[in-house]
A and B are shown apart, each in its own frame.
Chain A
Amino acid sequence: MSVTTLPSPIAESRPDRPVAFWKGEGFPLIPVLILLTIAFVAIFADLLAPHDPQIGSLARRFRPPAWQHGGSMEYLLGTDHVGRDVLSRLIFGARVSVIVGLAAVFVAGAIGTLLGIVSGYLGGWVDQVIMRLTDTWLALPALTFAIFLAAIVGPSEFNIIVILGGVYWTRYARVIRGEVLSLKEREFVRLAIVAGCSKRVIMWRHILPNVINSAIVLATLMLGVVIITEASLSFLGVGVPPPKPAWGLMLADGKKGLMVGYWWLTVLPGLCIMGMVLSANLLGDWLRVKLDPQLRQL
């Protein structure tokens, strides 16, 4: 009898080619492009802006955007109530938003992460004190508190950064502390203790690098909140002082013109704020999903 080995229905598997992460599923391409554009614009504002954002001529006030009747290519997005070019102000406003936003998020993150690590790892009375401090701080309404502080110390870019950082660190502290509590039960921390590492070394070498991911995700999510707060502060007149352009300030100035149809004075800065905040949130969401599962596997 002949050998009958019927073909086994097992197909050969296709080789697994690695795929670049930006082509991966769910990568928020548009939000990242928007954020990169805003950052680019902020850095090269001097080169990009067609006009000086702080000087206007009253003869040219309330010019509408170029595509509307009465507008011109010279002032692409129109002019405001003192004749300043809206496009240039938006471009320089990006600089304020990016700088204040990133710096404030960094300050808040640094304070919050540090306190979260110390509180979570050391436990005991240190933990109690820091947590009660956090609770108290959280109980204060953030925006009101920020306004209060800004009114006291006086508005300036530096002050705003410190104030925003000082108001928003609590979210970090809470989240990071939670992560640290579960991290410190992990075997590699126990092994570090067995190896003779001091508490300080453990917090720096073992705890911190493993909470950075969460801190980054939180940062992208907080960016939106911080920008809105900064815009609100500017809108209320206690933010970055005029005539330096800030998107929130432009909203405040422009609201007078809404009733008479000068829509570009509010809608355009509003769109910029929305664009940046939405993009930051979407990026944060994607980062959280991407970084979290890996964290869980560890």
Chain B
Amino acid sequence: MTAVLEAAGLSKHFPGRRGFFGGGDHGVVRAVDEISFIVESGKTLGVVGESGCGKTTTAKLVLGLETPTGGCIRFDGRDLAGLDKSGRRHYRKSVQAVFQDPFASLNPRMRIDAIIAEPLTTNETITPDEVRRRVLKLLDLVGLPSRSADLFPHEFSGGQRQRIAIARALSLSPKLIVLDEPVSALDVSIRAQILNLLSDLQAEMGLSYLFIAHDLAAVAHMSHDIVVMYLGKIVESGDAHSVATNPRHPYTQALFSAALPSHPEEVREEIILTGEVPSPLRPPSGCRFHTRCQHAMPRCSTDEPASKSVSGRMVACHLY
């Protein structure tokens, strides 16, 4: 298994407002705190978690929209921080993105062919004929008719726009695509179309995906592996199917039990968490989840649990 992308001890701390909440270390928001994960070639890594867990920041770090304050990201074995200009350019070509809102992802004043071709024309010198040829091929790949190339975004529906966004992401033949909530803004009946498309493209082109979504079933369905994040930390990671059906970390258990059933007679153990998500400015000491955890022990409030291997996956919890 070759790793396409590897994060090791990755951190992103933002300076918080001084004295705003009072008490404790109020200077820093630890949006992402020493996380490590691997995206394997041709596979999908799903990231789940609720608001404030740091999954959006992780996506931005991978895309180079933010720079890490600690740890590193390695792509094809090379540390991103140490890349020179051509190295960075190579990275940009290899990692692309599809975002949540299909209505904001396309420049309303640009034609579809220009939108899809932009990454291509920005990074390579290429004749207009060749550009056109590739745009038409990409449109075909995502299931849109070739006459779409000369139209403007407003003539397309949400699902079609997302296909255009995917075509654009594919234009440089990247190795990894970051999918940040790619179907949440779409109608339910359209989601399956897009998820199928993404699966097909992965099989055909050997793409890797970093799939971020709050719809647990969609993530579990699409991913080979999953990481579960809480307040900037990874609490559990491993094979998607086993994490989804047999979660080990108390938070993961609560999360997956909170997922809505797919049938009225589905029996599920109800784990209702008490309290609110703590503020990322003042994360709880020791294990960050201990304030809401049913199984909390005295140790949990003092020592941060290390990630241990449990039943074939990594869990950060003192229970193990």
Contact = CB atoms under 8 A, between A and B. Distances in A.
Contacts of B101: 187
Contact of B65 (A186, A188, A193, A196): A193
A151 interface: no
Interface string A154-194: 00000000000000000000000000000000111011111
B63 A206 contact: no
Interface in B59-115: 63-65, 89, 92-93, 95-97, 99-101, 103-110
B89 A196 contact: yes
Contact of B103 (A190, A197, A205, A297): A297
A191 B97 contact: yes
A210 B96 contact: no
B165 to A, nearest CB: 8
Contacts of A195: 92, 96, 118-119, 122-123, 168
Given A194-B92, A197-B118, A298 B104 contact: yes
Contacts of B64: 194
Interface of A, secondary structure class, is: helix
A196 B93 contact: yes
Interface string B13-44: 00000000000000000000000000000000
Contacts of B122: 195-197, 201
Contacts of B154: 297-298
Given A187-B101, A195-B122, A210 B92 contact: no
Contacts of A196: 89, 92-93, 119, 122-123
A194 B108 contact: no
A205 B97 CA distance: 19
B105 A298 contact: no
A9 interface: no
Interface residues of B, number: 27
A209 interface: yes
A155 to B, nearest CB: 40
Interface residues on A, range: 10 to 19
Contacts of B118: 192, 195, 197
Given A193-B65, A194-B65, A195-B118, A188 B105 contact: yes
B109 A210 contact: yes
A286 B109 CA distance: 21
Contacts of A201: 122
Interface in A279-296: none
Given A197-B118, A197-B122, A210-B108, A187 B93 contact: no
Contacts of B63: 194
A206 B107 contact: yes
Contact of B96 (A194, A209, A297): A194
A205 B118 CA distance: 10
B65 A191 contact: no
A188 B123 contact: no
A196 B92 CA distance: 6
6 A-B pairs closest in CB distance = A209-B109, A195-B119, A196-B92, A187-B99, A187-B105, A187-B104
Interface of B: 63-65, 89, 92-93, 95-97, 99-101, 103-110, 118-119, 122-123, 154, 165, 168
24 contacts: A187-B104, A187-B105, A188-B106, A188-B107, A191-B165, A192-B107, A194-B64, A194-B65, A194-B92, A194-B95, A195-B118, A195-B122, A196-B93, A196-B122, A196-B123, A197-B118, A205-B107, A205-B110, A209-B107, A209-B109, A210-B108, A297-B103, A297-B154, A298-B104
Given A195-B119, A196-B89, A298-B108, 5 more contacts: A190-B99, A191-B97, A201-B122, A209-B110, A210-B107
Interface of A: 186-188, 190-197, 201, 205-206, 209-210, 297-298
